[in-house]
């Protein structure tokens, strides 16, 4: 096992710069997730780390070894792909042990290590089957087993759960997390799914347009997003954004005026409120709305409403056509068009600069 140091790595395709200078130090045994929308550069970075793409500049160290210009096979890493990449003519056991066979490992040692890994992954009863006889989840475990059996210095995982259905994805996600805690190998995991990132990672690297936006543990990302993009990307449903004004240390929003956070100067700001921080009934800051859409999930409801004539209110979520949203733990009926009283705690709002979009509190 080993830590990984990525130092000022960038990637150009001709005049197109798809990955700006990327620097990240990953501790030995840490589970780091790269996440962001399509085209943000996360998969490009993983391919460079694996040696499948050359970097245009920068340096990569695995442990104390400079691997920047080494071929993939010389980096002592194992990669797990989204399409499993299993050999259809080989059995499960042969697939898991294939890399060891190519290294010239004695057959007895291969058999021993394959059985040990297969037991860890609960596929030891499938060793004589071929991939076509396996479910999607079983195939993914075999792909993981093939990576683990090599005992590499690091794992690289590229969207390994994207081909699984929703229920199996949740189950396999938990399996990978438990497996990492058990074997403790440094892991770099790429996904577009922020829920995967938040539930699995020790630290999350959020990317946009080839640039790192924030590196932090999941709780910090949720509670203290660095900018408007991170705030909107993390959380489901996404954060509500509204325009408001600060004057004399007071902030006006939804027709209510209350103390602005300390250190915020006068002028226009963007206010962020998470849907789960909007509650039914009286509270610290209260306002009335009429829902335009109510989605029931049983134990909770998503209540959509328009900003309406509230002072300085303007939604950044207009592309959904549903206005703002409250996530309310309420099992009773809520009808579209009825007047509701919503409230929030002023200490839970987020403020962002209108020009830089950086967090102000």
pLDDT digits (tens, 9 = 90+) for 288-318: 888 989 999 888 999 998 765 443 333 344 4
163's tokens: 């081909």
Return all residues near 25 (Cβ < 8 A) that are at least 6 apart: 3, 4, 5, 6
CA dihedral 162, 203, 51, 76 (to 10 degrees): -100
- Whether pTM exceeds 0.85: yes
Low-confidence ranges of the chain (pLDDT < 70): 1, 307-322, 331
pLDDT of residue 308: 54
Query: What span, in angstroms and rounded, lies between the C-alpha atoms of 240 and 189?
Result: 29
DSSP assignment of 210-267 equals TEEEEEE-HHHHHHS-SBHHHHHHSSSSPPEEEEEEEETTEEEETTEEEEPPTTPPSE
Residue 228 CB-density burial (10 A; 0-12 exposed, 13-18 middle, 19+ buried): buried
DSSP three-state, residue 19: strand
Enumerate domains of the chain plus CATH numbers: 4-228 (3.40.50.300), 238-353 (2.40.50.140)
Query: What span, in angstroms and rounded, lies between the C-alpha atoms of 128 and 91?
Result: 5
239's tokens: 């954060």
pLDDT digits (tens, 9 = 90+) for 198-237: 999 999 999 999 999 999 999 999 999 999 999 989 998 8
pLDDT of residue 331: 63
> Is 343 in contact with 286 (CB distance < 8 Å)?
yes
pLDDT of residue 164: 77
């Amino acid at each position: 096992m080993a830590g990984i140091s990525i130092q000022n790595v960038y990637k150009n395709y001709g005049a197109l710069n798809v990955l700006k200078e990327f620097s990240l130090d990953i501790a030995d045994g840490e589970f780091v997730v790269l996440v962001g929308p399509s085209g943000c550069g996360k998969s490009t970075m993983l391919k460079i780390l694996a040696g499948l793409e050359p970097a245009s500049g920068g340096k990569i160290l695995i442990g104390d070894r400079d691997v920047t210009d080494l071929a993939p096979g010389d980096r002592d890493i194992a990669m797990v792909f989204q399409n499993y990449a299993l050999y259809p003519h080989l059995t499960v056991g042969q697939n898991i042990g294939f890399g060891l066979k190519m290294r010239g490992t004695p057959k007895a040692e291969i058999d021993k290590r394959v059985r040990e890994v297969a037991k860890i992954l609960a596929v030891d009863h499938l060793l004589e089957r071929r991939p076509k006889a396996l479910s999607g989840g079983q195939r993914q475990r075999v792909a993981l087993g093939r990576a683990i059996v090599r005992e590499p210095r690091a794992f690289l995982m590229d969207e390994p759960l994207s081909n699984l259905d929703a229920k199996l994805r949740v189950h396999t996600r938990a399996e990978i997390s438990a497996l990492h805690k058990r074997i403790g190998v440094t892991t770099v995991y790429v996904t577009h799914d922020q829920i995967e990132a938040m539930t699995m990672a020790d630290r999350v690297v959020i990317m946009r347009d080839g640039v790192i936006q924030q590196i932090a543990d999941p709780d910090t990302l949720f509670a203290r997003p660095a900018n408007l993009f991170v705030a909107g990307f993390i959380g489901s449903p996404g954060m509500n954004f509204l325009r408001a004004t600060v004057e004399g240390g007071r902030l006006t929003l939804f027709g209510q005026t209350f103390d602005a956070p300390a250190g915020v100067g006068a002028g226009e700001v963007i206010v962020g409120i998470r849907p789960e921080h909007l509650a039914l009934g009286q509270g610290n800051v209260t306002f009335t709305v009429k829902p335009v859409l109510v989605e029931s999930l049983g134990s909770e409801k998503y209540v959509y409403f328009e900003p309406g004539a509230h002072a300085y209110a303007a939604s950044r979520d207009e592309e959904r056509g549903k206005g703002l949203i409250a996530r309310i733990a309420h099992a009773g009926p809520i009808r579209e068009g009825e007047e509701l009283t919503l409230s929030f705690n002023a200490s839970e709002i987020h403020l962002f600069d209108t020009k830089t979009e950086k967090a102000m509190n």
